[in-house]
């Protein structure tokens, strides 16, 4: 079979502002790049801060 395609993984993080409730997404192709590693600015209200992963949401696999 001809392998005429390639693929790569994209991780999309959902960032939520604890001040105004606005959320946005942050896509990355780097597996080790997580939102905890940087400072964020809310695009709606301008709140500045770091992010912590929400622990009650788990990945599911079929």
Domains of the chain, by residue range, sit at 11-49
Residue 37 phi/psi, 5-degree rounding, is: -90, 10
Q: Which tokens go with 35? A: 């939102």
pLDDT tens-place string over residues 3-51? 899 999 999 999 999 999 999 999 999 988 999 999 999 999 999 999 9
pLDDT at 22: 97
pTM score, two decimals? 0.72
**DSSP letter (8 states) at residue 41:** E
């Amino acid at each position: 079979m001809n392998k005429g395609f390639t693929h790569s993984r994209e991780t999309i993080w959902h960032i939520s502002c604890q001040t105004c409730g606005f959320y946005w997404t942050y896509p990355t192709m780097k597996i080790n790049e997580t939102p905890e590693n940087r400072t964020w600015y809310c695009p709606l209200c301008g709140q500045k801060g770091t992010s912590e992963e929400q622990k009650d949401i788990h990945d599911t696999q079929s």
